[in-house]
């Protein structure tokens, strides 16, 4: 993996770059649609690509349980299995396992957990987390880390941070492939000094890229931004920076401002299936009676297939009657909204006007109508 | 509407033709995918067209209740509302209403029924059935008829047949548009002489095309074929003939043999959503464990997007995990199977070898593994 920085905005931390992977290039800042179980929910890969996605995310926890990483390896790897020829980043499975709550026990060795599907017992350690991701054929693998919910006392966060460092070391040692990237994850809760310590530990071990984990897990938005703002600039300039599982369009605009290159979140796809549609101006809850006779598109400024061809009245009808096509068309719109926002941010950085872009974006979305807190949990 | 017969097989009743409608041409024999509620379930219109469909079917009962024909008319008609620019045939709503059982009362005036959604009371008569279809902007409208379940005693069938003729007369008188087609429906249960009488009554009134209704409603397959074989040749040579709501691929091959030009059935789309996939050789129940590690496509002879890009193992995984994409990919395959069969039949007629094609097709599907009886009912 190679990360090439094309330009940096002089007025803030925003960077424009390209990540080269064995399966193609990723333009950064990049949003990665989530393909939890080997599919970006409701869409064919060609549609995902057509919406502007360079890379997607796969969930190790889900794929390990069903259909199993060995089966996927036998079928030629995840790319071939799901017909997505582009880059894939996989998470370590850790985050989903922590979300299991009572169903898991964490020790220094790793995590003992019970499947949410059938209750069967499984063990995931740093070595197996890497081995599973290698079997899947991931282009960018993530270290197993220990994520702590908010609020948590400082001692607990510190203990998890130390374990995350030991696990990261073991992940790095256990990898068998050299052409696939491995990212370290910085934890540290909402304690900037612990985040600093986490950054030092990760960069000392040395990874192909660095992620900020454990944000947007229930903490107030200000604390999230504060920790993002203080941590991002500490990460090495010459490596991709990934803000895990966050979040709203505003979060992405802020993340890029502080120097983040990669994002993932289930918000656009999950909201779409719940009939919540993103626009720059208003929140569209498509089932509302006010859209019953509304012949206009979701967003007249949007260039997506859904907005080019369908009215709010039709989309409301599909949603209310439970048509599968509602899920497809809504997902197309929301993903395009997120991916187009990335395009607009990349353009603003290229033209050296990112701070102005950010100010205007945040001002215009006075009432974004989007709930904070985007933790994925088991649902994927 | 104009029906042009291109050629007729000399060895049987099979005909090759083209129906010209205000929204384009329909190559016959034609299969019409069912778009119950203003969408062919799980697919975008471009996909339906890409699979080879010239025309789709819309359900008057469902669209009348939700979102309402007046709303659809305000939105520019069904074609624009659902983004399908091609021809649309609409049923009269009658068949769905009869399926309501206890929820409806039939008199000479029409049908009083209660909505399956909210129990509200509605009335549908011959005049309103046509008016609703005109509001939808249908290219081919169907008369309101009275369909009788099997078994039924002869007197009951005779009474319904007489009422169907009176309603057909009223339908014809009440139509306001001249550029849209109106088809009459021949009922008569499993009594060939009543079918003959129904045919005479319909042709005396005179319609743009003729349908055979009330078959595949529970009667043995032999009785269905016997009535099809005796009725189809009685219908005027120079008008399209439509076998309503039937059925399996074998039924279509037989229907074409006896001179049928148009078919519709929910079987390919509904089976797809239930994970039952059509091939020439075997029945593929995709959830079966035997496909867990099967790297081959559903059907190696199929040219559809699903078969070109995905393994049975992947499709099984999607189905078992409840992914929406399973519905999309399965529907693409099954619809393509049905539409490709029509292409193969048209080719065989063009080349004057339809009887041989039919014999071979029926012989090779020794165990088609498909259940007969395809009545749509309320589910659409």
Instruction: Tally C-beta pairs within 8 A across A and B.
Output: 100
- List the Cα angle A77/A111/A147 in 5-degree steps: 90
Q: What is the mean pLDDT of chain B?
A: 95
Report which of residues A368 and B286 the model is more confident about.
Answer: B286
Q: CA B158 → CA B44, B101, B150, distances in Å?
A: 43, 20, 14
Q: How confident is the model over B133-144, as pLDDT tens digits?
A: 999 999 999 999
- List the Cα angle A337/A236/A20 in 5-degree steps: 55
From B42, B81, B317, residue closest to A38, measured CB to CB: B317
| Pairing state between β A111-114 and A104-106 | antiparallel
Q: For residue B54, give the DSSP letter.
A: S
SS3 letters across B73-130: HHCCCHHHHHCCCCCEEECCCHHHHHCCHHHEEECCCCEEEECCCCCCEEEECHHHHH
Positions of A marked active-site:
91, 264
Residues 6+ apart with CB under 8 A from A86: A23, A24, A49, A53, A54, A55, A56, A79
Torsion (CA) B96, B98, B102, B105 in degrees, nearest 10: 120
Task: Please indicate whether, in this complex, the C-beta atoms of A295 and B75 are within 8 angstroms of each other.
Answer: yes
The pLDDT of residue B370 is above 70: no
Task: Please indicate whether, in this complex, the C-beta atoms of A323 and B74 are within 8 angstroms of each other.
Answer: no
Task: Please indicate whether, in this complex, the C-beta atoms of A37 and B71 are within 8 angstroms of each other.
Answer: no
Q: Which B residues in the span 7-46 are in contact with A, Cβ-Cβ below 8 Å? A: 37-39, 41-44
Report which of residues B373 and A243 the model is more confident about.
Answer: A243
Q: How confident is the model over B303-334, as pLDDT tens digits?
A: 999 999 999 999 999 999 999 999 999 999 99
DSSP strands (E only) in B248-362: 262-264, 276-277, 284-285
Q: How confident is the model over A97-106, as pLDDT tens digits?
A: 888 888 899 9
Q: How many CB atoms lie within 10 A of CB B102?
A: 6
Report which of residues B366 and A33 the model is more confident about.
Answer: A33
Q: For residue A233, give the DSSP letter.
A: G
Q: How many CB atoms lie within 10 A of CB B357?
A: 20
The pLDDT of residue B124 is above 70: yes
The pLDDT of residue B371 is above 60: no
Q: How confident is the model over B327-343, as pLDDT tens digits?
A: 999 999 999 999 999 99
Q: For residue A351, give the DSSP letter.
A: T
B138/B355 Cα distance (integer angstroms): 34
Would you state the pLDDT for residue A366? 61
Q: Which residues of A touch B317 (CB under 8 A)?
A: 37-38, 66-67
Would you state the pLDDT for residue B378? 53
CA distance B138 to chain A (A): 17
Average the pLDDT over each of B78-87, B99-108, B196-205, B368-377 and give the range with the smallest value: B368-377
A31 token code pair: 């949003």
The pLDDT of residue A380 is above 50: no
Mutation site for A-interface testing, chosen from B286, B292, B304, B321 by largest number of A Cβ within 10 Å: B321
C-beta of residue B12 within 8 angstroms of C-beta of residue B36: no
CA distance B16 to chain A (A): 33
* Single pTM value for the model: 0.96
Mutation site for A-interface testing, chosen from B38, B39, B79 by largest number of A Cβ within 10 Å: B39
Q: Which residues of B touch A313 (CB under 8 A)?
A: 67, 71, 75, 81
**Exposure string for B269-302, b = 16+ CB within 10 A, e = fewer:** bbbbbebbbbbeeeebbbeeeebebbeebbbeeb
The pLDDT of residue A379 is above 70: no
Task: Please indicate whether, in this complex, the C-beta atoms of A311 and B66 are within 8 angstroms of each other.
Answer: no
B10/A226 Cα distance (integer angstroms): 82
Task: Please indicate whether, in this complex, the C-beta atoms of A37 and B66 are within 8 angstroms of each other.
Answer: no
Binned at pLDDT 50, 70 and 90, residue B368 comes out as very low
Q: Which residues of A touch B37 (CB under 8 A)?
A: 317-318, 321, 323
Q: Which residues of A touch B325 (CB under 8 A)?
A: 39, 41-44
In terms of phi and psi (left: phi > 0; alpha: psi -120 to 50; beta: otherwise), the region of B273 is: alpha
C-beta of residue B344 within 8 angstroms of C-beta of residue B354: no
Predicted complex ipTM: 0.96
Q: What is the mean predicted confidence (pLDDT) over A355-372?
A: 76
Task: Please indicate whether, in this complex, the C-beta atoms of A44 and B320 are within 8 angstroms of each other.
Answer: no
Would you state the pLDDT for residue A375? 40
Instruction: Give the position of tokens 């290159």.
Output: A261
A321 touches B at CB < 8 Å: yes
Q: CA B207 → CA B92, B112, B171, distances in Å?
A: 15, 26, 10
Task: Please indicate whether, in this complex, the C-beta atoms of A83 and B310 are within 8 angstroms of each other.
Answer: yes
Q: Which residues of B touch A38 (CB under 8 A)?
A: 314, 317-318
A75 touches B at CB < 8 Å: yes
B117 touches A at CB < 8 Å: no
Q: How confident is the model over A277-304, as pLDDT tens digits?
A: 999 888 899 999 999 999 999 999 999 9
Positions of B marked active-site:
91, 264
B186/B239 Cα distance (integer angstroms): 14
Q: How many CB atoms lie within 10 A of CB B321?
A: 19
The pLDDT of residue A374 is above 50: no
Q: Which B residues in the span 205-244 are in contact with A, Cβ-Cβ below 8 Å? A: none
Q: What share of chain A is helix, strand, coil (3-state, %, to 5)?
A: 45, 15, 40
From A43, A317, A327, residue closest to B67, measured CB to CB: A317
A61 touches B at CB < 8 Å: no
Task: Please indicate whether, in this complex, the C-beta atoms of B75 and A292 are within 8 angstroms of each other.
Answer: no
Q: Which residues of A touch B83 (CB under 8 A)?
A: 309-310, 314
Would you state the pLDDT for residue B100? 86
B71 touches A at CB < 8 Å: yes
Environment class of A157 (CB within 10 Å of its CB; exposed 0-12, middle 13-18, buried 19+): buried
C-beta of residue B27 within 8 angstroms of C-beta of residue B308: no
B156 token code pair: 């009951």
Q: Which residues of A touch B75 (CB under 8 A)?
A: 293, 295, 311, 313-314
Q: Which residues of A touch B41 (CB under 8 A)?
A: 323-325
Binned at pLDDT 50, 70 and 90, residue B372 comes out as very low
**Size of chain B in residues:** 380
Task: Please indicate whether, in this complex, the C-beta atoms of A310 and B83 are within 8 angstroms of each other.
Answer: yes
From A41, A67, A317, residue closest to B324, measured CB to CB: A41
B56/B35 Cα distance (integer angstroms): 7
């Amino acid at each position: 993996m190679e990360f090439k920085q094309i330009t940096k905005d002089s007025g803030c931390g925003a960077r424009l770059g390209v990540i080269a992977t064995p399966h193609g290039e990723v333009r950064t800042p990049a949003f990665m649609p989530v393909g939890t179980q080997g599919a970006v929910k409701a869409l064919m890969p060609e549609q995902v690509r057509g919406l502007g996605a360079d890379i997607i995310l796969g969930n190790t926890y889900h794929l390990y349980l069903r259909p199993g990483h060995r089966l996927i390896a036998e079928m030629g790897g995840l790319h071939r299995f799901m017909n997505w020829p582009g880059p894939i980043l996989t998470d370590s499975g850790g985050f989903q396992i922590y979300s299991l709550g009572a169903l898991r026990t964490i020790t220094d060795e790793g995590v003992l957990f019970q499947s949410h599907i059938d209750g069967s017992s499984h063990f995931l350690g740093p070595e197996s987390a890497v081995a599973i991701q290698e079997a899947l054929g991931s282009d960018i693998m993530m270290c197993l880390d220990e994520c702590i919910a908010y609020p948590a006392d400082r001692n607990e966060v510190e203990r998890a941070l130390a374990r995350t460092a030991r696990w990261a070391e073991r992940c790095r040692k256990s990898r068998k492939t050299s052409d696939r990237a491995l990212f370290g994850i910085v934890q540290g809760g909402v304690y900037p000094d612990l985040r600093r310590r986490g950054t030092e530990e990760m960069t000392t071990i040395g990874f192909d890229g660095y992620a900020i984990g454990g944000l947007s897990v229930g903490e107030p938005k200000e604390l999230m931004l504060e920790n993002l703002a203080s941590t991002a600039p500490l990460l090495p300039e010459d490596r991709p920076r990934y803000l895990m599982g966050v979040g709203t369009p505003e979060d992405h605009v802020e993340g890029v401002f502080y120097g983040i290159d990669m994002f993932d979140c289930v918000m656009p796809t999950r909201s779409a299936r719940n009939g919540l549609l993103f626009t720059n101006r208003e929140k569209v809850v498509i089932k509302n009676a006010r859209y019953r006779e509304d012949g206009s598109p979701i967003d007249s400024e949007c260039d997506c297939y859904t907005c080019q061809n369908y009215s709010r009245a039709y989309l409301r009808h599909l949603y209310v009657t439970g048509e599968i096509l509602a899920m497809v068309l809504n997902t197309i719109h929301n993903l395009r909204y997120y991916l187009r926002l990335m395009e607009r941010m990349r353009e603003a950085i290229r033209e050296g006007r990112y701070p102005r872009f950010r100010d205007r974006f945040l001002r215009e979305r006075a009432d974004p109508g989007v709930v904070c807190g985007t933790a994925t949990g088991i649902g994927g």
